[in-house]
C-alpha cells in the first residue's frame, strides 16, 4: 500500500479547487501549482502550499512535465493528482511519477497509451468484444480513404487517431467533402497532438453521446457507476451533462456498464475513468476512453453518493474498492451546466477579461464548483470554463426547475457568459421531454433569442441587484416554481 501524506495538484481552476477540498476531507496536505497568470488564484489560496511553475503559456507551466515533477519533489509531495486537461492523459506524466517514486493518482502509463491512440483502442475493443462503430484503421492516403468510405457508406466521420475531445473531427457526405475533411482533420491533428494520422467511422444518425463512469482497484475489481448524458454540445465540446439519461433503461445501463468494464479490463485499467459511447435507436458503440476524471463527474457523485475524487485517492493508496456492483444505486437526477466565459451570440467565442462582480446561487439541490470566490480575472491563456453549476432533484423535472432558479440567481458581471443560454436550454420543450441528440444546439435556433430574453433580465453589475425589484420578483417566482 502506498501511503500518501502530501499531494501536488497539477492543475488550475475549479478542478484544482475540487481536488484540494478532497485532500482536506481526507487529511492530506495539498500543494498547488500556478503560472504567473494565476498568482493569487483561488486554488493557490485554498492549498496548504503553492509553487510557481512558469509563465502564463501552458507549454511553459502546466504542460511542462519537468517543472511539475520538480515542483512535487521540491514540495515533498508523495503523490500527484493531474485533474483533467493539461497532462492528465499524458502517459509520460504517469511514467515520470513512477521513476521519481511519486504516486500517480490515475491509471498506469500502459493503460493510458492503449486508450490514447484511437485506432489502437478500436482494435483492442473489438478484441474484447466491445461494440465499435464500423470504420477503419489509420488511413494512409486519400485514395485509401475514398475506397474505405465507399465500403462503409456515406456519410462518414474523419477523426484524429491521437487526442480527443472532438478536436479536428469532420463530417463528409460525399467524396469531395471527404477530400477536404481529410486535409482539415489531419492538419488539426498535427497542430494539436503532433500526430497527423486520421481514420474513418460511419457517421451514426440521430446520435446521443452517452458515457459510463468506471472505477477499478489494483486487486482486480472493476465496477461501473452508470451513465451520463452528454449530448448537449457545441463544436463537439460538451456544454451540459446529466445523470442518468432519458435514453437508457436499467437493462441497457447494465449492458453498457458491462461493456465499459470489459473495455477497462482489456487495458489493465486502474483508478477512475470514463468509457464513452455513441447511442442511436437502441444500439450503442464504443467511442473512446477518457483515462482521467471527467469535468462532469459531479452529476454521478450526486446521484450515486460516491465521492469520486476521494475514491481516486483511496485506490491510489492501494485500498480495494469498498463497493460491489450490486451496492451501487442511482437516486434522483442531476444536471451540470458548464459556466463559460463565452458569447453564445458569437458562435460561443471565448470572452476572457475581468469579472467585476460574482455571486453564486445556493439553496436546496444546488452545488457550484468554481474557480472564483469573487471578482477576478478569466485568463485568455486557458479554457474559458470558470465554474460548474450542478443541481439535483428527485426527478428530472425538479432538477431542471432548480437549474433555472439557480441560473437566475447566478450573477457574473463584467464579461459575457453562457448563463442565459443554459437558462434557455433548461426551459426548451424538446430538452424537457428528453428529445436529445448531439445536433440539439444547431437544430434549435430559437435558443439564442430566448437566451437574449434571459440576458436582459440580469443586471449588468451586482450593485444593481438590491434596487431592481423586477429581478427580485423573477427570482422569487423561479423559486416558487420548484416547490
Q: Domains of the chain (ranges plus CATH)?
A: 6-105 (3.40.50.20), 134-202 (3.30.1490.20), 208-481 (3.30.470.20)
How far is it between the farthest Cα atoms of the chain?
67
Beta strands, E only, 119-251: 156-160, 170-172, 198-202, 208-216, 222-234, 237-243
375-385: b or e for each residue (b if 16 or more CB lie within 10 Å)? ebbbbeebbbb
Specify the pLDDT at position 457: 76
CA angle 448, 451, 454 (to 5 degrees): 160
For 369, phi then psi, to 5°, come to -105, 110
Residue 241 CB neighbour total at 10 angstroms: 28
Q: Are 82 and 88 in contact (CB under 8 A)?
A: yes
Instruction: Quick: pLDDT tens for 423-432.
Output: 999 999 999 9
Instruction: Quick: pLDDT tens for 377-414.
Output: 999 999 999 999 999 999 999 999 999 999 999 999 99
Average pLDDT over residues 450-470: 62
Q: Are 416 and 341 in contact (CB under 8 A)?
A: yes
Q: How far is CA 339 from CA 167, 189, 298, in A?
A: 20, 27, 14
Q: Are 153 and 202 in contact (CB under 8 A)?
A: yes
183-213: b or e for each residue (b if 16 or more CB lie within 10 Å)? eebbebbeeebeebbbbbbbbbeebbbbbbb
Answer whether residue 18 shows pLDDT above 60: yes
> Which cell numbers hold the place of 403?
437549474
Q: Are strands 222-234 and 208-216 parallel, antiparallel or unpaired?
A: antiparallel
Catalytic residue selected from 29, 228, 292, 402? 292
Whole-angstrom distance, CA of residue 321 vs CA of residue 260: 17
Is 67 one of the catalytic residues?
no
Whole-angstrom distance, CA of residue 137 vs CA of residue 418: 38
Nearest to 91 by CA among 67, 66, 122, 114: 114
Specify the pLDDT at position 45: 97
Whole-angstrom distance, CA of residue 378 vs CA of residue 268: 39
173 CB-near residues (< 8 Å, 6+ apart): 154, 155
- Please give the model's pTM, rounded to 2 decimal places: 0.88
Confidence of residue 165 (pLDDT cuts 50, 70, 90): low
Instruction: Quick: pLDDT tens for 279-314.
Output: 999 999 999 999 999 999 999 999 999 999 999 999
Confidence of residue 483 (pLDDT cuts 50, 70, 90): very low
CA atoms within 13 A on the CB side of 327: 7
Q: Are 264 and 290 in contact (CB under 8 A)?
A: no
311 CB-near residues (< 8 Å, 6+ apart): 215, 272, 321
118 CB-near residues (< 8 Å, 6+ apart): 159, 160, 161, 162, 164, 199, 288
Helix (H, G, I), strand (E, B) or coil at 240: strand
Helix (H, G, I), strand (E, B) or coil at 349: strand
- Is the preceding peptide bond at 439 cis, omega within 30 degrees of 0? no
Mean pLDDT of the chain: 92
Name the helix (H) or strand (E) containing 260.
helix 250-266
Answer whether residue 239 shows pLDDT above 90: yes
Amino acid at each position: 500500500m502506498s501511503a500518501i501524506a502530501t499531494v501536488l495538484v497539477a492543475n488550475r481552476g475549479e478542478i484544482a479547487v475540487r481536488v484540494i477540498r478532497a485532500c482536506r476531507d481526507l487529511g492530506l496536505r495539498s500543494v498547488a501549482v500556478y503560472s504567473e497568470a494565476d498568482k493569487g488564484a483561488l486554488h493557490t489560496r485554498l492549498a496548504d502550499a503553492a509553487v510557481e511553475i512558469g509563465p502564463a503559456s501552458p507549454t511553459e507551466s502546466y504542460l511542462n512535465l519537468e517543472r511539475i515533477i520538480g515542483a512535487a519533489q521540491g514540495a515533498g509531495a508523495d503523490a500527484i493528482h493531474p485533474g483533467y486537461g493539461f497532462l492528465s492523459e499524458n502517459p509520460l506524466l504517469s511514467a515520470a511519477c513512477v521513476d521519481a517514486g511519486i504516486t500517480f493518482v490515475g491509471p498506469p502509463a500502459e493503460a493510458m497509451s492503449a486508450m490514447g491512440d484511437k485506432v489502437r483502442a478500436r482494435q483492442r475493443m473489438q478484441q474484447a468484444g466491445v461494440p465499435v462503430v464500423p470504420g477503419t484503421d489509420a488511413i494512409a492516403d486519400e485514395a485509401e480513404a475514398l475506397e474505405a468510405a465507399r465500403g462503409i457508406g456515406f456519410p462518414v466521420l474523419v477523426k484524429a487517431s491521437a487526442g480527443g475531445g472532438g478536436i479536428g473531427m469532420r463530417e463528409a457526405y460525399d467524396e469531395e467533402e471527404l477530400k477536404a475533411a481529410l486535409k482539415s482533420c489531419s492538419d488539426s491533428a498535427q497542430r494539436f497532438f503532433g500526430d497527423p494520422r486520421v481514420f474513418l467511422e460511419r457517421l451514426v444518425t440521430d446520435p446521443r453521446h452517452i458515457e459510463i463512469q468506471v472505477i477499478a482497484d489494483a486487486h482486480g475489481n472493476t465496477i461501473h457507476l452508470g451513465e451520463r448524458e452528454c449530448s448537449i454540445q457545441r463544436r463537439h465540446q460538451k456544454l451540459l451533462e446529466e445523470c442518468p439519461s432519458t435514453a437508457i433503461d436499467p437493462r441497457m445501463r447494465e449492458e453498457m456498464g458491462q461493456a465499459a468494464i470489459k473495455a477497462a479490463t482489456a487495458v489493465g485499467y486502474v483508478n477512475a475513468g470514463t468509457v464513452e459511447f455513441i447511442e442511436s435507436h437502441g444500439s450503442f458503440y464504443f467511442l473512446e476512453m477518457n483515462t482521467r476524471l471527467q469535468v462532469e463527474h459531479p452529476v454521478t457523485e450526486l446521484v450515486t453518493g460516491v465521492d469520486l475524487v476521494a475514491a481516486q485517492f483511496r485506490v491510489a493508496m492501494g485500498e480495494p474498492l469498498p463497493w460491489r456492483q450490486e451496492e451501487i444505486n442511482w437516486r434522483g437526477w442531476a444536471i451540470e451546466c458548464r459556466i463559460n466565459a463565452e458569447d453564445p451570440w458569437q458562435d460561443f467565442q471565448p470572452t476572457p477579461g475581468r469579472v467585476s462582480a460574482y455571486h453564486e446561487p445556493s439553496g436546496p439541490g444546488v452545488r457550484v464548483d468554481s474557480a472564483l470566490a469573487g471578482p477576478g480575472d478569466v485568463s485568455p491563456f486557458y479554457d474559458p470554463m470558470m465554474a460548474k453549476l450542478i443541481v439535483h432533484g428527485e426527478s428530472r423535472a425538479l432538477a431542471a426547475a432548480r437549474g433555472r432558479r439557480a441560473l437566475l440567481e447566478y450573477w457574473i458581471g463584467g464579461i459575457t457568459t453562457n448563463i442565459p443560454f443554459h437558462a434557455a436550454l433548461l426551459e426548451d420543450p424538446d430538452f424537457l421531454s428528453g428529445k436529445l441528440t448531439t445536433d440539439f444546439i444547431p437544430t434549435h435556433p430559437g435558443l439564442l433569442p430566448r437566451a437574449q430574453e434571459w440576458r436582459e433580465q440580469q443586471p449588468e453589475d451586482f450593485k444593481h441587484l438590491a434596487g431592481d425589484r423586477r429581478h427580485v420578483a423573477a427570482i422569487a417566482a423561479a423559486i416558487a416554481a420548484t416547490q
